[in-house]
Structure 1
Amino acid sequence: MNNVVTGLLLTLILAGCASRPAEDPLETREALLLASGNHAGLVAHYKANLNQRPEYKQRLISLYLDQQDLRSAQLYTTLLSEQERQQPQARLALARIQCLQQQWQQCESQLQQYRQAGGDPVQTLLLLGRASAAQQHFELAIDQFEEARRLGASDLQVLNNQAVVHLMQQRPQQALALLQPLYLRHPEDGGIRANLIVAAIQAQRPLVALEVLRQNDDEQQAKRQLQALMAGVLPADSQPVLWRKAPPKALSEPQSAAPAPSQPEGRTEPGDGPAACTLPGAGQDKRFCIQVTSWDRPLSQRMRRDFIQRYGSLFEQQSQSRYRYCVGDFDTVGEASQFLSKVSEPGAFVVTQSSCHQQAAL
């Protein structure tokens, strides 16, 4: 009898083991890479297994878009079949690409199709809000962000986006009212931090900006950074623009060094190049970019290629014996400020493009 019972138990145990689904090694590796935040490894994993897992194409495109690598994302959309392009995630990726290319009407159309195909309404509304803001439909953008919040979007996403819209409308006080509580709840968020500094300086609340800078730097360094940032605010039309006139080495000089004066619109900036740099004058269109680094010599070809691969563009400006490098090309400060949160380089900031900003050669 005991042998019979033992046999039955053994059979049940073996049956239980046999019925457990075998672990998929590709899914296991993907989960480990996602958990560790190893994006480079995740890209390599998806690429190596595209033939076995067609769904990896869409995941790879989304990952490239998260990294602001527009060129690579576009490349892999060419591998999607017509049937795959009709799937919700593919439609969302295509909409994100069109938004990054500032093809707003196509982006909005693709987002509506994404939602009709069963896509996430929160994602739809967040992207529609950004497209509306970029087209200066500010109140519509605010409403779309608020609707996304009602449907479950995080306060962090919605309120930060609404603050950027207020900055685009040149309403820094309203932006500040949204960003200060957000920063207290999420002091680790680089995008909130950068936007709060912009809003505080524009709202003429330098002590607020100084308090934020103190969180990452000592008192003297924070004050020097604030001086440099405030010296760069363009006052002519009160746009929330930061422009650091002094090269980064000036930030390490004694505090007694006076901050560089703010330059009036249309004036030239001293430079070592063949022609002096000029900023757009009053009434002229301005364009904006993100300064990511500054050196006393040109960047190597490898570093230039790395910036272009990660951000899609690289501009070089030579002035004051410095080589300054910027990424992105934006019509408005709000767009540049929004992109700033995705830039990984510490100390990056928004600047107005001058006549000396040229596409960096490889």
Structure 2
Amino acid sequence: MGALVSEWGSFVDESPSSGGGPPSAPPPSSPSAADHEWGFYEPEPEPQSRPGTGRSPSAAVDADPGWGFDDPSAASAPSPPSPPTGVPTPSPEVVASLLTVGETLWAHVDGPVAVLGSGCPVTAVYDGEPDGFSGWRPVTVVDPGSLTVRPVPLSLGEPPVGAATSVAELYSDLEPSSATEPRRAAPFPVGQGPDLEAVLSRAVAEERERVRAEAAAAAHRAEAQLNLAKRELAERTELAERHARMREEQAQSEVRRTQQEAAQHVSAAQAQIAAARDQFTQAQQQWQLRARQAEAEQTRLTRELNRAKRAGVQHLVLVGVLAVLAVVLTFVLKGA
């Protein structure tokens, strides 16, 4: 806490006293009373009695919501706190960016002027007239942009009679003390009390019933778990069967498609074979026709060749006869 306080301000007289209680306020005559950062309250003198009330001083202190302090306006106005040496005061823009509407903070208020613990001054507004309290008090942020706060109202008046309970009544003993002798315990009741066998029998019966109930509950839970497992198994089996049927249907459709494709391929092959057979038959017929034509042409050519051979032989014979006649005529003519 000391590290955080040293960054935004400092608190004086913060160490507890030797008795472990809160630090006591400095007297008004001390020189540091005016510079006290937490404000100053002058202790109220304890009157012997208050006219018209009929209550003790303790009851008045308990009923006083102002905790028995005097009017702050009677005390000297404390000066606003100043940041410690070496710690710069943050700018109003930075303080405005860190504040939110409705946030409650502590500030040193003196009329319309208030100073936060960081040393940044803010404007204090009141619903009515200022209550005259000067010092540290909680304030509520009204507008962070304009650094406007509203001091939390303090209850400084004394409540009416009967609105609070006095300290004596709060701590009074409602039961009057008796002066009679103290009560002593009675002797041990020998032979009295419940039957131990009945108590044990009842305990055994209750334990047996409890065990039976637990066994029945365990059996019920086991049966529920078994039914749940059966349902899950049935659902998984149905899902597996559905997947198997889907795969079987896909396989059957694939087989049918393959068969159709195979049938189409076979039909196409048969058509190709039939076309090839027709082409072969046509080619064979053409070859046979060409062979017969070639044989006929060969026969004709053979006959013509034979005829030409005979004509050549006849021509040679005729030429030879003519040559012989020519020779004979030549000899005849020479001899003549």
TM-score (norm 2): 0.18
Q: Which structure carries more helix by proportion?
A: 1
TM-score (norm 1): 0.17
